[in-house]
């Protein structure tokens, strides 16, 4: 599972690089991955200080640092 999360983290990074800030739902739709795997991949990137979270009144978007 660790390899799957790492691979998805790379895909998430690429998506954020190409499209800019996205919500978890948008990432889930774009990657066709489960909620758990998307959250784990975002956590992986956050742990490596690759992303930050942008909170608005209604949503939280993930963006590259």
What total number of domains does the chain contain?
1
Q: How does pLDDT run across 43-55, given as a tens digit for each residue?
A: 999 999 999 999 9
CB 51 within 8 Å of CB 42: yes
Task: Output the domain CATH number for residue 23.
Answer: 1.10.10.10
Q: How does pLDDT run across 7-42, given as a tens digit for each residue?
A: 999 999 999 999 999 999 999 999 999 999 999 999
CB 62 within 8 Å of CB 23: yes
| Token digits of residue 45 | 């990137």
pLDDT (0 to 100) of residue 51 = 98
pLDDT (0 to 100) of residue 31 = 97
Residue that wins the pLDDT comparison between 62 and 56: 62
What is the span of the domain harbouring residue 45?
A: 2-64
Q: Which residue shows structure tokens 């992303």?
A: 51
pLDDT (0 to 100) of residue 15 = 97
């Amino acid at each position: 599972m660790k390899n799957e999360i790492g691979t998805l983290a790379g895909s998430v990074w690429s998506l954020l690089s190409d499209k800019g800030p996205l919500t978890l739902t948008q990432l889930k739709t774009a990657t066709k991955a489960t909620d758990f795997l998307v959250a784990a991949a975002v956590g992986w990137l956050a742990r490596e200080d690759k992303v930050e979270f942008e909170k608005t009144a209604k949503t939280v978007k993930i963006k590259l640092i």
